[in-house]
């Protein structure tokens, strides 16, 4: 690489000049003889200039590399190419300048075909990249591809599912050291056929309790190319790290990672279940003993399967199990009441099979006065039933089971007071699962409902605009609905956002 010397403040400094970067190849095309004993040919033009249009100092140092599909570097084998004495991935001008039998300045031969019926060495495209060797310093152009065939679409993996969730109660192992053992576990099932092969979503599988019999056609996936990931709450990807899975590297899993290979059986991970050491949602005892901990997730955990082949990638849908009530921020707040809402519309939830129908099972809403820590309310709330309708026979119809979740209006509260509230769902075995704790402050009775003051801080500013936009987008964030209806059309929408912006800007 060329260098120049200059002096600055008495110091002599060596700086590198810009490297010579070859221009991109042009006129790329493909010819295939379509015969097993024939040949294929990649045609191209290697410009003899750099990216600035300057002529290259030494053409003998100009070469090329060939890539297939998703940037897969092609190796020219000496057993195939008589111009080579050993396998190479970079072919320079000096190699073919005299003979040019296998390689030429504008084309390269491949002694195989990609025609239908023969084993291809690429599936949809082939490309070329220029390389320039300047005294041992190599620079490369962009890869210029020619798409010979349509890019094949990868099959989508069959959607997995979570069958079980177990959260062990924190165990006080060494009281003298205040050391707790915590862990949780999910049991899962990836999409496989009855022989345990991973499959695409065209696999019919099991229909209720019946097994598909007879001949059926479906897509098997290469197990080496299948992985799965874990998600929490709102599509938050879980990362397996060495501080929690330190022994995994002994089993061939490189950490950190967000994906686990299909069939991997290492420390805490098997084909059927996955342990999460040092993670729990049973954090109350830890909090009571001075630990600063957050729950592993607040309401749901999910799983997704991936299939990666030839640089392409496809993924199944994320299958979630909703385990804890998804308690939303308070809404419809007045001086003496608010709406507590933990309704949801998911059917693949642990609550359907385990929390509903028992003698003591159900949702228990707890409301606490934050200042006094007195319990204001403990209410057993029935699950919200789905939308029903009357059929032609006059019968009420709907889904057989209630959708998990509910809502409840808490009334008779003190104006201006701050309340904490949470929901505990109790299962058929009397085990309890608690939501996050929310907080709401009620306006006082003498507060003026100022148009645009949606957060009730007696000032109309950009914070109110942000809060109202969140409401319009569907986030129930406990705003003053009376103040939010700025244009008095009895609807809270984008027109009210515009009206508040005008107030903030000083326009009536």
| Residue pLDDT, tens place only, 346-396 | 554 555 455 555 566 678 999 999 999 999 999 988 776 555 566 677 766
Residue 303: pLDDT band by 50, 70, 90 thresholds?
very high
Phi, psi of 501 (to 5 degrees): -60, -40
At 209 the pLDDT is 37
Residue 128's pLDDT is 96
Q: Could you say which of 3.30.420, 3.30.70, 2.60.40, 2.60.120 is the CATH number of the domain covering 26-147?
A: 2.60.40
Q: Which residue has the higher pLDDT, 205 or 33?
A: 33
- Neighbouring CB atoms inside 10 A of 62's CB total 20
Amino acid 140: pLDDT: 96
Rounded CA gap, 470 and 128, in Å? 50
The 10s digit of each residue's pLDDT in 437-463 is: 889 989 886 556 678 888 777 788 888
Q: What is the pLDDT of residue 257?
A: 92
Supply the angle between the helices 462-472 and 494-504 in degrees, to the nearest 10. 180
Q: What is the pLDDT of residue 346?
A: 55
Q: Which of 56-65, 205-214, 240-249 is predicted least confidently?
A: 205-214
| Residue 328 to residue 13: CA distance in whole angstroms | 62
3-class DSSP state of 485: coil
Beta strands 362-369 and 11-16, pairing class? unpaired
Which helix H or strand E contains 462, and what residues bound it?
helix 462-472
Residues 138-151: pLDDT tens digits?
A: 999 999 999 998 88
Q: According to the model, what pLDDT value does residue 35 have?
A: 77
pLDDT value of position 357 = 54
Q: How confident is the model at residue 245 (pLDDT cuts 50, 70, 90)?
A: confident
Mean pLDDT along residues 81-93:
89
**Whether pLDDT at 471 is above 80:** yes
Q: Domain 338-441 is of which CATH architecture? A: Sandwich (2.60)
Supply the pLDDT for residue 195.
85
Buried b (16+ CB within 10 A) or exposed e, 285-297: eeeeeeeeeebbb
What is the pLDDT, as a whole number, of residue 218?
A: 86
Is the pLDDT reported for residue 20 higher than 60? yes
Q: Would you give the distance in Å from CA 414 to the centre of its chain? A: 43
The confidence score (pLDDT) of residue 477 equals: 64
**pLDDT > 90: percent of the chain:** 31
> How high is the pLDDT of residue 120?
82
Could you tell me the residue ranges of all domains in the chain? 26-147, 161-322, 338-441, 462-504
Compute the average pLDDT of residues 413-422.
93
Helix/strand/coil for 129? strand
pLDDT above 90: residue 22: yes
Comparing 31 with 430, the larger pLDDT belongs to 31
**Mean pLDDT lowest for which of 16-25, 75-84, 87-96, 390-399?**
390-399
The model's confidence at residue 130, banded by pLDDT at 50, 70 and 90, is very high
Predicted local distance difference test score (pLDDT) of residue 325: 80
Q: Where is pLDDT greater, at 70 or 22?
A: 22
417-431 mean pLDDT: 82
Instruction: State yes or no: pLDDT of 291 exceeds 70.
Output: yes
Which has the higher per-residue pLDDT, 346 or 42? 42
Mapped onto helix, strand or coil, the DSSP state of residue 175 is helix
Inter-residue contact 31 to 146 (CB < 8 Å): no
Instruction: Report d(CA 482, CA 492) in Å as an integer.
Output: 9
Q: What is the pLDDT of residue 342?
A: 85
Question: What is the distance, to the nearest Å, from the Cα of residue 428 to the centroid of all Cα atoms in its chain?
Answer: 33
- Residue 401: pLDDT band with limits 50, 70, 90: very low
The predicted model gives 3-13 an average pLDDT of 34
Give the range among 125-129, 379-383, 407-411 with minimum mean pLDDT. Answer: 379-383
Q: What is the pLDDT of residue 108?
A: 92
Q: Band the pLDDT of 164: cuts 50, 70, 90.
A: confident
Other C-beta atoms lying within 10 Å of the C-beta of residue 34: 13
| Residue 4 pLDDT | 34
Please determine, for residue 482, whether its predicted confidence score (pLDDT) is greater than 80: no
Give the mean pLDDT of 429-442. 81
338-441 shares the fold of 26-147: yes
């Amino acid at each position: 690489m060329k260098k120049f010397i200059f002096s600055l403040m008495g110091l002599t400094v060596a700086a590198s000049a810009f490297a010579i970067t070859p221009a991109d190849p042009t006129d790329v095309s493909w010819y295939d003889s379509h015969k097993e004993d024939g040949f294929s040919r990649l045609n191209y033009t290697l410009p003899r200039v750099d990216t600035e249009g300057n002529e290259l100092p030494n053409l003998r140092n100009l070469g090329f590399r060939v890539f297939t599909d998703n940037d897969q570097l092609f190796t020219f084998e000496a057993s195939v190419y008589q111009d080579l004495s050993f396998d190479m991935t970079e072919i320079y001008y000096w190699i073919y300048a005299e003979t040019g039998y296998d390689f030429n300045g504008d084309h390269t031969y491949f002694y195989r075909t990609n025609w239908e019926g023969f084993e291809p060495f690429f599936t949809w495209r082939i490309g070329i990249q220029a390389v320039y060797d300047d005294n041992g310093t190599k620079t490369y152009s962009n890869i210029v591809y020619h798409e010979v065939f349509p890019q094949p679409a990868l099959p989508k993996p069959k959607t997995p599912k979570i069958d079980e969730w177990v959260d062990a109660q924190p165990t006080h192992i060494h009281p003298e050291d205040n050391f707790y053992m915590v862990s949780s576990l999910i049991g899962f099932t990836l999409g496989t056929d009855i022989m345990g092969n991973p499959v695409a979503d065209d696999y019919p599988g099991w229909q209720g309790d019946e097994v598909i019999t007879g001949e059926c056609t479906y897509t098997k996936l290469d197990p080496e190319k299948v992985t799965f990931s874990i998600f929490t709450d709102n599509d938050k990807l879980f990362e397996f790290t060495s501080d929690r899975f330190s022994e995994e590297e002994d089993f061939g899993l490189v950490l950190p990672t967000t994906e686990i290979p299909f069939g991997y059986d290492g420390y805490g991970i098997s084909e059927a279940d996955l342990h999460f050491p040092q993670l729990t949602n049973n954090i109350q005892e830890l909090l009571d003993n001075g630990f600063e901990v957050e729950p592993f997730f607040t309401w749901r955990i999910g799983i997704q399967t991936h299939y990666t082949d030839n640089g392409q990638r496809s993924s199944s849908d994320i299958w979630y199990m909703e385990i804890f009530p998804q308690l939303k921020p308070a809404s419809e707040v007045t001086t003496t009441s608010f709406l507590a809402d933990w309704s949801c519309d998911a059917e693949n939830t642990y609550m359907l099979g385990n929390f509903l129908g028992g003698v003591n099972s159900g949702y228990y809403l707890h409301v606490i006065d934050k200042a006094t820590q007195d319990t204001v309310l403990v209410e057993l709330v029935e699950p919200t039933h789905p939308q029903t309708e009357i059929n032609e026979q006059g019968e009420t119809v709907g889904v057989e089971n209630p959708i998990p979740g509910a809502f409840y209006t808490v009334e008779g509260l003190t104006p201006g007071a701050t309340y904490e509230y949470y929901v505990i769902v109790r299962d058929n075995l009397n085990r309890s699962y608690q939501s996050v704790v929310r907080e709401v402050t009620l306006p006082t009775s003498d507060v003026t409902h100022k148009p645009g003051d949606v957060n009730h801080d007696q000032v109309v500013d950009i914070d109110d605009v942000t809060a109202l936009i969140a409401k319009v987008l569907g986030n129930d964030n406990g705003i003053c609905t009376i103040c939010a209806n700025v244009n008095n059309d009895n609807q809270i929408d984008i027109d009210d956002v515009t009206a508040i912006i005008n107030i903030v800007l000083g326009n009536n």
